[in-house]
Structures are given as C-alpha cells and as structure tokens.
C-alpha cells in the first residue's frame, strides 16, 4: 500500500513539474518575450515609408541650381495579385514578360523592395490611368534631383542608393534609400536629406489593406530637407567651364576676405543630369571608363608640382628669416651653376632685386635664395633649416588638407626631412641636393585648391579663411565656426607688400614681365606664372593671381595640363575669369584672348 502511495506522489509531482514548465514557458512567451507579439503585429500591418524631398541648392546670388522632380517606384503586394493583362502592363513599362515574372516571384520574399525603381513621370501618368486593371500593384512616390544648368557637377555631387556598409553605419538608412555620394550632396547630407515619414496600414493575413493601423497613431509626416545657399557664382562657374572645355586641368577662385569658393572647375567635366534616374548606373560606368577621367576632381585631388608659382613662398621665407631683403640681388647667366648642378633660365634683365625676381621669374635667383635659406648658420644642421622652411610652407595650407567642406580633398605633399634622410642619409644631403624645391619642382606636390588659397593668403597680407562651398543653410544661424576663423601664416605682415609688388609687376610691368597677358586696364591684377615640369609629356601651364591689388575680391589658380608655359593658357584664362567676375563682362580689346582660349584644344595632348 505504501508502495502505491509513493508512486502516486511521484506521478503527481511529475504532473505538477510539467504543468509548471508549461505555465512558465507560456508566461515567458506571452509576457517576457515580445518577439512573437511583434511578429504578429508585423503580420497585421504594412509600413509605407514617406520619402521627403531633398533640400534645394541655390548659388550665392539666389539662382536655383538643384531642385527635385517627382519619381515613382512601382511596388507589388503579392497577396493582392489577381488575374491581369500582363502584356498590357509590360508594354506600359517597356519590359519583357520574364522581368515581370521574376519581379512577382521576388515580391513574395522581399515585399518592401520596388519592382521597378524610378518610373518616369511620363510612364507614371500612363500607368496611373490603368492601375486599377492591375490589382496588387501600387506606386510609391519619391523625388529625383533635377539641374537648372549643366554645370558644377563636381561641386554639387550626386545622389545614389545606399549599400549595406552605409546601412550598418547609420540606422537612419534602409535598403532602397538614397544618399549623397559626392560634393555638396555628400558633405551636407544630414541637412539636405530631411526626415522620413511613414504611413502604417492594417492588413489581413493575405497582406491586403483594411484601413489605418490603430487610427493612424503611428503615422508621421516626412520633413523636407533644408535648402542650401552655396558660395558658387553660377555665371562665373559656367563661364569657367566653357573656357576649360578643351583642356584638362582646373580653375579655383576664392573670395579672400571670406574663403568662399566662387568657382571650382575640374575639366573635363560632365553633365550632372547623367547621374540621375534609371540610366545612372550605365552612365556612371561610361564616365568611369572614359580615358579623359571626367569623374576625377582635379581641383581637389590632382597632385601637381606648382612650378614657379611657388617662388613667392621662398621669397617670403627668405625675408622672414632675414637672409634676404628688398634689395638683395643675384646675377643670372641663363641659369644657375654650382658644382655639377645646373638649373636653366630664360633671357631677362640681370641682376635683379627681390620684387624683380618675381616679375621676371628668375630660376637662378631662387636657387641662390634657397641655398641661403637652407645654409643659414643659425641652424645646427641642414635638417633643422629644412624643417624650419617646411613649417613656413605648411602654415600656408600646403602639405595637409585645408579641412574644407569637401570630403575628397587631398593633402598634396611637402616632403619631411626624414624623406631625404632615408634616401641620402641623415645630414648627408645638402641644399644642392634638393635645389629643385627652389623653383617649385622636386619633392613637392600641391592641389589647385591649395594654390588658390596661397594667393588668398598673400592677398590678405598673411592669413586665410578655410575655403568652403556653403554660404547659408536654411534654419541654421551660422556656418561652421572653422570657416570664419582667420588662419595666420608664419610670415610677418610687413613682408607681403614686397611680394605683392613683384606680383603686380609680373602682370603690369614692362617687356619681359611674365604675365602681361593677364592684365586689365582699370584693375590692378597681381599674379605669378608657372611652368611645371612634366616627365610624361609637355609641361603644364600654371598661373595664380588676385585682384584688385587693394581690397582684393578674388584669388584664382589655373592649372592647364600640357599647356607648356604659364603665359600660354593659364594666365589668359585667369585674366578672363577675374575680369568676368569683377566687371561682369569681357572687354572688346580682350575678346581675341577669349576667342583663342575657346578655339584651342589640348584634350588629347600629352
């Protein structure tokens, strides 16, 4: 009897334990774990994303550059599909029957993915009239970018679909969203994109809409992106692109007093409209494989030797280090000769003082001057002297990114002393070893943006504002404070007037002055030409300038690949840009220069 009683208790205990397990499990599933609840809720609702219109982009004078046009994604609700005329739908969408079948199959696994993206307004208008014939198909509206002018593609940038890497980094984005890829679209994405909204619908087990979900309590409107006023002068940008259409190179124009970029041109350029709509991918691949590299932003990413445009830098450093004065003279016998080193020069008056050395761009003068800088006895070694020289150069924004609001800006290259130590041995190399740096060649590379910034610094007599592309953002009181701060060079203000005198005479001096072709009758232009050696073909034409001399309004750098002499292409183009900006026209007596620049073609020269 006791044996049966014990078994009874054991069986009861087992039932109680099993019941307890079920009760605990049910409690966990229904109360603690919400995943099944969420799954049930998700199966009873459909969330339709409401995409905001991106902010508009205007130029500095209020001209609309970028706006939005409606676009439509055709979606499929697979469980709402009924018999329809597939041939008619294929004809409307210009697709074949296999594409339609594949889209329907895919919709059962990926209901939120569009069947066809970016249906054109024309196709949408035709489809909308007959959409009732195709149950299970519906349209989701969104916008695409539209451009008023075919200019400034590298400045404005473009918009593309997000990938998994972007989604992993930023939870705002989901598959199918669009994001700024380059230019202003990328740099100011957080302002331009706006905020997505949503519409939540109640659906049945077959995903058919039955009405609003919980009375619309989870619905929210999309918030339109903020409008942006950029610093670009659209008319000047358009004119500059026209001048550069037959050349490879760049123009960068800056307002010295603010650092605002007036024009940023990379040539060859491309029509920004090519990178919108359903043809974006195929157009992008064509641009990417184009041997002229139209996608490459030369203004920010090309590393060029500055050539003789760099000579004012060495002149300022010599003045600052007191190894030269206004009246320091050197002779030039068609070049510089020292031991086995020879640097050639052109015919010009000799000897020259320091402003004249800029005016006539004497190579010999700067080789002598550079030796004085690196052989200055107040330094213990060539390394110390070189590092001091390099620090002066870096203070003008060379050798590092300027921290502009472009994300693809490169730093150029100003070789550290360790670079030469590695090749020649520590304190073994001498001034003559690196003498090419005297004339902007050798182990030095700059971007056109940095060169324009150098001119802006000289124009300001010693400081610059970080170059930037955005002037105002709708609803934001001020732009980033880094753009309003003055960044001072290491050169005393007093030394700049000597340099400016030389640059003024280079443009406005007598015969032999290197940049007379950039001169204007009623405006004093100060500039410096450069011929940058190119081991792969014809030398490059370089010019940098600012105007007017007093209270300057524009600083510009022009780089024309394979243009040979600075005065051949870069200087006349810069002169036209300056005149166009300051006077809004080109004088009749300079029309021949404009005509020559427009008619020449160096695109395929090397």
Would you state the structure tokens that stand for residue 370, as one six-digit string? 């550079």
Helix, strand or coil, per DSSP, at residue 348 = coil
pLDDT at 478: 87
**Residues 6 or more apart whose Cβ sits within 8 Å of residue 348:** 332, 360, 361, 362, 512
pLDDT at 73: 87
pLDDT at 362: 95
Same domain, 219 and 241: no
- Render pLDDT for 265-303 as a digit per residue (tens, 0 to 9): 999 999 999 998 878 889 999 999 999 999 999 999 999
Q: Is the pLDDT of residue 473 over 90?
A: yes
CB 287 within 8 A of CB 274: yes
Same domain, 225 and 247: no
Q: Please report whether residue 207 resides in a domain.
A: yes
The percentage of residues in the chain with a pLDDT greater than 90, rounded to a whole number, is 67
* The dihedral sign for the CA sequence 438, 439, 445, 451: positive
pLDDT at 125: 86
Same domain, 212 and 315: no
DSSP alpha helix (H) spans, 141-182: 153-156, 164-169
Q: Is the pLDDT of residue 136 over 90?
A: no
Q: Please report whether residue 34 resides in a domain.
A: no
User: On the CB side of 197, how many CA atoms lie within 13 Å of its CA?
Assistant: 16
Same domain, 58 and 180: yes
Bigger pLDDT: 104 vs 208: 104
pLDDT at 40: 46
- Render pLDDT for 450-462 as a digit per residue (tens, 0 to 9): 999 999 999 999 9
> pLDDT band at residue 127, thresholds of 50, 70 and 90?
confident
Q: Please report whether residue 1 resides in a domain.
A: no
pLDDT at 54: 95
Q: Is the pLDDT of residue 235 over 70?
A: yes
Bigger pLDDT: 390 vs 124: 390
d(CA 331, CA 371): 15
Same domain, 302 and 396: yes
> pLDDT band at residue 39, thresholds of 50, 70 and 90?
very low
Burial of 148 (0-12, 13-18, 19+ CB in 10 A): middle
pLDDT at 72: 86
CB 385 within 8 A of CB 366: no
pLDDT at 43: 52
Burial of 567 (0-12, 13-18, 19+ CB in 10 A): buried
If you average pLDDT over every residue of the chain, what do you get? 90
Region 216-242: what's the mean pLDDT? 93
Domain count, the chain: 2
Bigger pLDDT: 44 vs 223: 223
* The dihedral sign for the CA sequence 321, 325, 330, 335: positive
- Position of tokens 């300057």? 552
Give the range with max mean pLDDT: 94-98, 215-219, 540-544: 540-544
Helix, strand or coil, per DSSP, at residue 212 = strand
Q: Please report whether residue 38 resides in a domain.
A: no
**Residues 6 or more apart whose Cβ sits within 8 Å of residue 149:** 65, 234, 238
Q: Is the pLDDT of residue 21 over 80?
A: no
Same domain, 354 and 226: no
d(CA 463, CA 393): 13
CB 455 within 8 A of CB 555: yes
Q: Is the pLDDT of residue 7 over 70?
A: no
CA-nearest of 117, 115, 82, 84 to 99 is: 115
Region 7-11: what's the mean pLDDT? 67
Would you state the structure tokens that stand for residue 62, as one six-digit string? 């209020």
Region 37-57: what's the mean pLDDT? 72
Helix, strand or coil, per DSSP, at residue 96 = coil
Region 597-605: what's the mean pLDDT? 91
CA-nearest of 52, 74, 42 to 172 is: 52
Same domain, 67 and 183: yes
Q: Is the pLDDT of residue 591 over 50?
A: yes
pLDDT at 36: 45
172, 207, 230 - which closes a domain: 230
Same domain, 72 and 51: yes
Region 364-380: what's the mean pLDDT? 96
Same domain, 253 and 205: no
d(CA 586, CA 548): 16
CA-nearest of 158, 162, 143, 134 to 72 is: 143
pLDDT at 348: 92
Q: Please report whether residue 510 resides in a domain.
A: yes
Rg of the Cα atoms in the chain: 33
CB 602 within 8 A of CB 280: no
pLDDT at 276: 87
pTM: 0.87
- Render pLDDT for 161-209 as a digit per residue (tens, 0 to 9): 888 899 889 889 888 888 999 999 999 999 999 998 888 878 766 556 6
Peptide bond into 268 cis (omega under 30): yes
Q: Please report whether residue 37 resides in a domain.
A: no
Q: Is the pLDDT of residue 8 over 70?
A: no
Q: What angle do CA 284, 289, 294 make, to 5 degrees?
A: 70
Same domain, 63 and 150: yes
pLDDT at 255: 98
- Render pLDDT for 566-584 as a digit per residue (tens, 0 to 9): 999 999 999 999 999 999 9
Which residues are registered as beta bridge partners of 264? 252
In Å, how far are 20, 41, 146, 570 from 280, measured between CA atoms? 62, 38, 13, 34
CA-nearest of 547, 60, 468 to 264 is: 468
Helix, strand or coil, per DSSP, at residue 195 = strand
Same domain, 130 and 101: yes
Torsion-angle region of 102 (φ positive above 0: left; ψ -120 to 50: alpha; else: beta): alpha
- Render pLDDT for 508-563 as a digit per residue (tens, 0 to 9): 998 888 999 999 999 999 999 999 988 888 999 999 999 999 999 999 999 999 99
In Å, how far are 95, 207, 233, 495 from 83, measured between CA atoms? 18, 17, 56, 84
> pLDDT band at residue 116, thresholds of 50, 70 and 90?
confident
Burial of 271 (0-12, 13-18, 19+ CB in 10 A): middle
Which residues are registered as beta bridge partners of 414? 444
d(CA 28, CA 166): 36
In Å, how far are 86, 87, 97, 127, 152 from 91, measured between CA atoms? 9, 6, 10, 10, 37
Same domain, 363 and 468: yes
Helix, strand or coil, per DSSP, at residue 276 = coil
CATH number where 146 lies: 3.90.1310.10
Helix, strand or coil, per DSSP, at residue 61 = coil
CATH number where 380 lies: 3.40.710.10
d(CA 331, CA 365): 7
Would you state the structure tokens that stand for residue 457, as one six-digit string? 């610094």
pLDDT at 208: 62
Domain that holds residue 88: 46-230
199, 230, 261 - which closes a domain: 230
Q: Please report whether residue 14 resides in a domain.
A: no
Would you state the structure tokens that stand for residue 359, as one six-digit string? 């005016």
Task: Work out the number of other CB atoms within 10 angstroms of the CB of residue 422.
Answer: 10
pLDDT at 28: 63
Q: Is the pLDDT of residue 357 over 90?
A: yes
Helix, strand or coil, per DSSP, at residue 252 = strand
d(CA 357, CA 369): 10
Q: Please report whether residue 13 resides in a domain.
A: no
Would you state the structure tokens that stand for residue 353, as one six-digit string? 């003082």
> pLDDT band at residue 35, thresholds of 50, 70 and 90?
very low
């Amino acid at each position: 009897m006791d044996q049966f009683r014990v078994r009874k208790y054991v069986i009861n205990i087992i039932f109680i334990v099993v019941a307890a397990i079920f009760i605990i499990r049910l409690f966990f599933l229904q109360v603690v774990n919400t995943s099944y609840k969420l799954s049930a809720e998700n199966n009873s609702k459909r969330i339709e994303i409401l995409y905001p219109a991106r902010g508009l982009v205007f130029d500095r004078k209020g001209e609309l550059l970028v706006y939005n046009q409606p676009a439509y994604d055709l979606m499929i609700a697979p469980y709402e599909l009924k018999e329809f005329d597939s041939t008619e739908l294929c004809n409307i969408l210009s697709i074949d029957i296999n594409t339609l079948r594949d889209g329907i199959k895919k919709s059962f696994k990926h209901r939120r993915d569009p069947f066809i993206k970016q249906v054109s307004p024309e196709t949408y208008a035709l489809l909308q009239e007959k959409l009732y014939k195709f149950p299970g198909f519906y349209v989701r509206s969104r916008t695409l970018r539209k451009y008023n002018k075919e200019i400034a593609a590298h400045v404005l940038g473009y918009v593309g679909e997000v990938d998994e890497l972007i989604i992993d980094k930023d939870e705002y984005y989901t598959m199918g969203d669009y994001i700024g890829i380059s230019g202003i679209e990328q740099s100011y994405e957080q302002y331009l994109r706006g905020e997505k909204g949503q519409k939540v619908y109640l659906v049945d087990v077959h995903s058919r809409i039955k009405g609003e979900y919980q009375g619309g309590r989870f619905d929210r409107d999309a918030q339109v992106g903020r409008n942006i006023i950029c610093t670009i002068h659209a008319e000047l940008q358009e004119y500059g692109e026209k001048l550069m259409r037959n050349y490879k190179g760049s123009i960068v124009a800056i307002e010295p007093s603010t650092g605002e970029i007036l024009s940023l041109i990379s040539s060859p350029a491309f029509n920004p409209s090519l990178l919108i709509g359903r043809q974006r991918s195929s157009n992008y691949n064509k641009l990417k494989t184009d041997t002229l590299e139209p996608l490459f932003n030369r203004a920010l990413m090309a590393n060029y030797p500055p050539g003789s445009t760099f000579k004012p830098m060495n002149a300022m450093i010599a003045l600052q280090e007191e190894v030269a004065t206004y009246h320091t003279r050197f002779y030039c016998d068609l070049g510089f000769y020292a031991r086995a080193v020879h640097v050639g020069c052109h015919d010009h008056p000799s000897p020259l003082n320091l402003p004249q050395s800029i005016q006539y761009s004497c190579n010999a003068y700067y080789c002598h001057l550079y030796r004085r800088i690196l052989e200055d006895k107040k330094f213990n070694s060539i390394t110390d002297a070189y590092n001091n020289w390099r620090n002066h150069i870096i203070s003008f924004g060379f050798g590092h990114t300027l921290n502009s609001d472009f994300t693809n800006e490169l730093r150029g290259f100003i070789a550290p002393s360790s670079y030469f130590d590695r090749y020649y041995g520590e304190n073994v190399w001498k001034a003559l070893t690196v003498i090419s740096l005297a004339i902007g060649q050798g182990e030095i590379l700059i971007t056109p943006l940095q060169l324009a910034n150098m001119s802006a610094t000289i124009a300001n007599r010693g400081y610059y504002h970080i170059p930037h592309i955005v002037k105002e953002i709708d609803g934001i009181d001020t732009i980033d404070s880094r753009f309003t701060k003055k960044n001072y060079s290491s050169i005393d203000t007093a030394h700049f007037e000597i340099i400016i005198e030389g640059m003024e005479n280079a443009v406005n001096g007598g015969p032999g002055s290197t940049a007379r072709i950039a001169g204007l009758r009623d405006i004093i232009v100060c500039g410096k030409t450069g011929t940058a050696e190119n081991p792969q073909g014809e030398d490059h034409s370089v010019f940098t300038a600012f105007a007017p001399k007093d209270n300057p309004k524009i600083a510009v750098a022009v780089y024309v690949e394979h243009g040979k002499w600075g005065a051949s292409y870069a200087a006349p183009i810069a002169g036209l840009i300056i005149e166009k900006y300051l006077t809004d026209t080109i004088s009749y007596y300079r029309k021949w220069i404009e005509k020559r620049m427009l008619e020449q073609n160096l695109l395929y020269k090397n």
